[in-house]
């Protein structure tokens, strides 16, 4: 069970985290977790270019070491990058010292002050320590493209139904999302463009 949209009542209770970035520019923030992937990330980049959209890629250190050329393409295209750990571990299931070491390992190959905890799972002690160095970026809307029980059209609906200026929307450029991500993203990008949203990278 997981939430596709973060209720507003959650935000005051989790002040260490950023769930959205309200603004008067009608800007929204597309984010992609778990890459880089040798096929999907490239397709995502092509789609973003087609719609003149900029995004933020939360990268896994192990994947960055495998595909550094794709990371270079991401940054050269004007997208932002952030940390998504080194080995995609859950903070809830990991001792603090092991979790911090994993984040540190990802920081060796990802230069950013943005961090999204894998699965959104991080303990209070981990958050309090890491917020001294990183902006902890969560999300307002989850496409659920990793979930095989949904279709691309349903993921599109999750990614657009409640979007508004400042929304941070999560997609995944990983193997689990492969059957759904490209069509869901294509539909979403067309929707955002038609609604007059500008799609910007996260820069804090």
Q: Calculate Rg over the CA atoms of the chain.
A: 16
Q: What percent of the chain has pLDDT over 90?
A: 92
Distances (CA, A) of 195 to 88, 161, 163, 175, 189: 34, 12, 10, 30, 10
Which pLDDT does position 141 carry in this prediction?
A: 96
Select which of 102, 145, 172, 173 is catalytic: 172
Residues 94-103: tens digit of each pLDDT: 999 999 999 9
Select which of 20, 33, 34, 173 is catalytic: 33
Report the pLDDT averaged over residues 103-112.
98
pLDDT(11) > 90:
no
DSSP state letters, 50-82? HTT--EEEEE-HHHHHH-HHHHHHHHHTT-EEE
Q: What percent of the chain has pLDDT over 70?
A: 97
- Whether 172 is catalytic: yes
Residues 176-188: tens digit of each pLDDT: 999 999 999 999 9
- Asked whether the beta carbons of 122 and 92 are under 8 A apart, the reply is yes
Report the pLDDT averaged over residues 37-52.
98
Residues 46-72: tens digit of each pLDDT: 999 999 999 999 999 999 999 999 999
- pLDDT: which is higher, 87 or 14: 87
Domains along the sequence of the chain with CATH: 16-199 (3.20.20.370)
DSSP-derived pairing of the beta strands 198-199 and 27-33: parallel
Which pLDDT does position 8 carry in this prediction?
A: 73
Measured between alpha carbons, how far is 106 from 73 in angstroms, rounded to an integer? 19
pLDDT(9) > 70:
no
pLDDT(90) > 70:
yes
Let me know how long the chain is. Answer: 204
Residues 109-126: tens digit of each pLDDT: 999 999 999 999 999 999
């Amino acid at each position: 069970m997981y939430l596709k949209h973060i209720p507003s009542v959650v935000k005051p209770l989790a002040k260490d985290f950023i769930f959205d970035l309200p603004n008067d520019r009608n800007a929204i923030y597309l984010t992609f977790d778990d890459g880089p992937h040798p096929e999907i990330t490239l397709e995502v980049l092509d789609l973003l270019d087609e719609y003149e959209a900029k995004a933020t890629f939360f990268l896994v250190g192990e994947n960055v070491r495998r595909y550094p050329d794709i990371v270079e393409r991401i940054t050269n295209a004007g997208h932002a990058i952030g940390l998504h750990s080194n080995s995609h571990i859950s903070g809830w299931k990991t001792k603090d010292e092991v979790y911090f070491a994993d984040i540190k390992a990802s920081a060796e190959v990802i230069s950013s002050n943005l961090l999204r905890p894998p699965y959104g799972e991080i303990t209070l002690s981990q958050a309090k320590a890491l917020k001294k160095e990183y902006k902890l970026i969560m999300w307002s809307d989850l496409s659920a493209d990793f979930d095989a029980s949904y279709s691309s059209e349903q993921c599109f609906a999750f990614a657009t139904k409640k979007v508004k200026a400042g929304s941070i929307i999560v997609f995944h450029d990983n193997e689990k999302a492969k059957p759904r991500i490209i069509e869901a993203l294509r539909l979403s990008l067309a929707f955002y463009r038609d609604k007059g949203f500008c799609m910007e990278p996260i820069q804090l």
